[in-house]
Amino acid sequence: MQKVLLLLCAALWLCSPANASGEDEKDQAQGKLRTLPASSWTGKSSLSRATRRSLDDGLAYLARRLAETEDGSLPASTGRRDDFAPLGISALGALAFMAAGNTPDRGPYGREVAGLLGYLLRHTNLAPGEKEYGYISTQGDVKSEMHGHGYATLVLAEAYGMTGAERLRPALLAAVRLIENTQGSEGGWYYWPERAAQHEGSVTICLVQALRAARNSGITVDAKVIFRAEDYVHRLQKADGTFRYELGKETSSVALTAAAITTLNMAGRYDDSVIQSAVDAIWSGLGLVAEGGRRAADFPFYERLYIAQSFWQLSDTTHFERWFETERATIVRTQRKGGGWRGARFGDCYATAVNCLVLATPEGVLPIFQR
């Protein structure tokens, strides 16, 4: 039965608009803009005044911090070497600006989006014949690796889908092919840009989301890669509904479970029993934290980002509404005077970019946030 469901999902992937015809790809090549929610062009917002103000202050903080660097990246460290992840954090910052309706050179932060895209393009390996052709990375960044590549590819895909800018296409195509070519034997991916037997759930989530965004923007993506990735993620689920970090180990978390739901959403699955049991597990885990029965998340911003995305895509909107009401209040309350948020891991720009993304989710401007 599981195999039948997975084959059906692969068929749906192949028959979806971006793969069924060349119209989307033709439109992109001609530079046509996709139809975006009205809020992205008119300035109208579905957010409350307090939430919108918090989002605006957060974006202003990111813009100020961006001006501090010479290479076009966001400051990306707490001072610890193992927190230095400029590529991944800069990609998240670009997504935050874009989620509020900014595109390259368009909108209040259009210049910042253009600058961050330029940074990502400059760090895309487009040297023909190289083993890491298509890999987006930067020297000295010991943490982003394939996570960062996934977020950077997602940025290129979202920007390409929103603008049709042809200059983004070569790097996006190369980045997608690198993802396809490095899928491991189990169907997942690991930290480095190479095909291996090793695999890890959180990396796989980043890369599947990037592939889905690329497909939505008109780029052809190998459906077999998605089929194998979905099968891998499906096998990560435990009997209690949570998802493991990798096959063969029992460690699971609310964060990884939310990210797994997002991955399955990106592969075209939404409200089946697998996802429902995962949603129940998330609520159970969040309840245990509130009651003191489970320690807080090791990576709270990562958890927040993926709960927002996973709940937002559910057909039962009450899950997102219930969670967002409380989480939004927490985000607004903990914002610092300068507009940013404190991030003990990976720095304040990381925390601020994630919180801005979460606050902007209901706007539905980014294609990945559109229901």
- What is the C-alpha to C-alpha distance for residues 200 and 175, in angstroms, rounded to an integer? 19
Query: Mind listing the domains of the chain with CATH numbers?
Result: 46-366 (1.50.10.20)
Sign of CA dihedral 287, 355, 98, 220: negative
Of the two residues 250 and 14, the one the predictor is more confident about is 250
pLDDT band at 116 (very low <50, low <70, confident <90, very high): very high
Residue 173 pLDDT level (bands cut at 50, 70, 90): very high
- List C-alpha distances in Å: 208 to 85, 175, 338: 20, 12, 35
Joined together, the tokens standing for residue 143 give 């943490």
pLDDT at 26 over 80: no
pLDDT of residue 19: 44
Mean pLDDT lowest among 252-256, 271-275, 294-298, 329-333: 294-298
Mean pLDDT of the chain: 87
pLDDT (average), residues 140-155: 95
Band of residue 297 on the pLDDT scale cut at 50, 70, 90: confident
Q: What is the mean predicted confidence (pLDDT) over 45-59?
A: 94
pLDDT of 108 > 60? The answer is yes
- Confidence check: pLDDT of 320 > 60: yes
Cα dihedral 212→214→220→226 (10° resolution)? -20
| pTM exceeding the 0.85 threshold for the entire prediction | yes
Which of 4-18, 180-194, 223-237, 335-349 shows the lowest per-residue confidence on average (mean pLDDT)?
Answer: 4-18
Look at residue 41 in the predicted model and tell me its pLDDT: 36
Looking at residue 270, its pLDDT comes to: 78
Cα torsion through 353, 307, 172, 121, rounded to 10: 20
